Structure 1
């Protein structure tokens, strides 16, 4: 029997991008994509009115009462998928991700080849066709058929197996933004292996192609407050790892970032120093619990 898939797309005040990404989902035939769930993080830019105009039997829309960040949106989406549907796989993505029928087909081919995996990640490209730096994965082993074993990936075209959600729980909504996808896929990876699917190509329409959490090269002052969550969240992710060196790694990376900002020339130096310090201090006492499904599977 063919595997069933529901896409989960989270949006917040990015109507222009949503008008590009959502139609790319709607163009996929319903024999391959059975459901499309849009999580609206209480947008105020006309997103609600736009969603009212769409007519597709697969479409479900969940309007949250406040902006819970990307992490809260993905938590709500995966929770809805698990509790309200019976589909086999959740296909998770941002509202600036352009997908295609081919991208999903290649993910499903990977399911046929490695059916017991926890998750499958697409090859994410920037608008010019180069690899999207914030979505790079680190292959561990080539397992054939264009698949590579990986430990973690981002929420940009990620296929998650329902059965593994019951054991791993839901994404950590308290992260708000940044790092929730890495923590969640690492958690899933402790249940079963994850794979990078090189044949599944998608486009991530971010403004500039910089690596995630790269505060040193950040030039947009409006984005600086987000880095608080980067430094806070990465410490919790490290504490949840099993090996000591993996637990220590986030502290090492933070010290490297701090040294670069302090001793090298960078824009908004003072603000960046304060953010690294405040985020790290918050991370030392940041201990939200993981939500697990109840009464199903």
Structure 2
């Protein structure tokens, strides 16, 4: 039987060293990746010069240069659209801070799940730089569409079913994309992968193939809960600095929109969610008017009263007066 063709899609922005490690890992796979599509979101750190050099030596590497930063959501939407038009069997998605282990693709494609047509997407187990499993990359939804991470014992199975998966190693079948379309590029960052794979789960199975391993180098392990030993430590863990709120507000907007798409509008629930977040900002945040205005702006967008318009991180930094 002819091996299935696989295109890798990598989204990158100003992380040249990580991008290089990711591409080198893709080129070194024990099962050849048929094509690598790199979406550069307007990098200015030498990434583009590096990609020019790679293209000159690798005829399977294709680069799409965005004029500006379109976020992870825009990058993956562009990458999937571009690769899909070339017609591969599977599309393997990752950010530049992901590094697939040498046999990661081979393990995915050799799995029983890859042979079952009812499986529309697969992923592998994801480890942090501390070599601990990052469970939050897959999970299920509860009755209120809250995200529930899988129990650790599921990773002792050859594979398990999930309702969503992150774009750190999601591998999606061609005909599934044909049926559900492309990711929501307007999300910019956060929850675009959850929304898209939730869409996929409506038409077939999503499976995590645990023998396939991916390293995620974001330096954060959200599954490790550090219990504070004092009130001061507890307060420190709850801090919400203004500089990070462009991303958190964006993620909340996207989550509400996702729930509306999949379960129907619930404006009172959304108002309650935003109110609780604002209360936390007032207690633990920098209490800037600009932060409150940002959440109110995104609430109006989340409930469908305005079109999505994302404040870019560089613009947010300037608005705070940071150099």
TM-score interval for Structure 1 and Structure 2 normalised by the shorter chain: 0.7 to 0.9
Give the SS at the match of 2:118: coil
- Measure the CA separation in 1 of the matches of 2:109 and 2:293: 45
Q: 1:256 offset after TM fit, Å?
A: 5.1
1:101 aligns with 2:97: no
Output aligned runs, 1:1-297, within 5 Å.
1-29=2-30, 31-54=31-54, 55-83=57-85, 85-110=86-111, 111-132=113-134, 134-138=136-140, 139=150, 146-210=158-222, 217=238, 221-242=242-263, 254=274, 257-262=277-282, 266-268=284-286, 270=288, 275-285=294-304
Task: Give the TM-score, by structure 1 length.
Answer: 0.82
1:27-77: CA deviation from partner (whole Å, max 9, x where unpaired): 125x53111111111211111100111122211111122221111110011
Cα contact 1:41–1:65 (8 A) shared by 2: yes
Alpha-carbon distance in structure 2 between the residues aligned to 1:108 and 1:175: 30
Displacement of 1:281 after TM fit?
Answer: 2.8
Shift of 1:278: 3.5
Please say if residues 143 and 149 of structure 1, whose CA atoms lie closer than 8 Å, have aligned partners that are also in contact.
no
Equivalent residue pairs, number: 279
Structure 1 residue matching 2:109: 3-state secondary structure: helix
Distance change >3 Å, CA 219–CA 97, structure 1 → 2: farther
Residue aligned with 2:177, SS: helix
1:120 and 1:243, CA in 2 relative to 1: closer, same or farther beyond 3 A?
Answer: farther
Distance 2:157 2:135 in 1: 24
Structure 1 segments of 4 or more deviating over 6 A?
140-144, 247-252
Between the aligned partners of 2:197 and 2:269, the Cα distance in structure 1 is: 17
Q: CA deviation at 1:102?
A: 1.7
Q: CA deviation at 1:277?
A: 3.8
- 1:280 Cα shift? 2.3
Moved more, 128-137 or 63-72: 128-137
**Distance of 1:61 and 1:251 partners within structure 2:** 41
CA–CA distance in 2 between the matches of 1:58 and 1:172? 27
Q: Deviation at 1:15?
A: 1.0
TM (normalized to structure 2)?
0.76
Q: Deviations over 1:94-125 (max 9, x none)?
A: 00001123211221133445342111122111
Unaligned runs of 5+ in 2: 141-149, 224-236, 309-323
Contact persistence 1:230–1:279 (CA under 8 A): no
Mind listing any 5+ residue stretches in structure 1 that lack a counterpart?
289-297
- When Rg is computed on C-alpha atoms for both structures, the one with the higher figure is 2
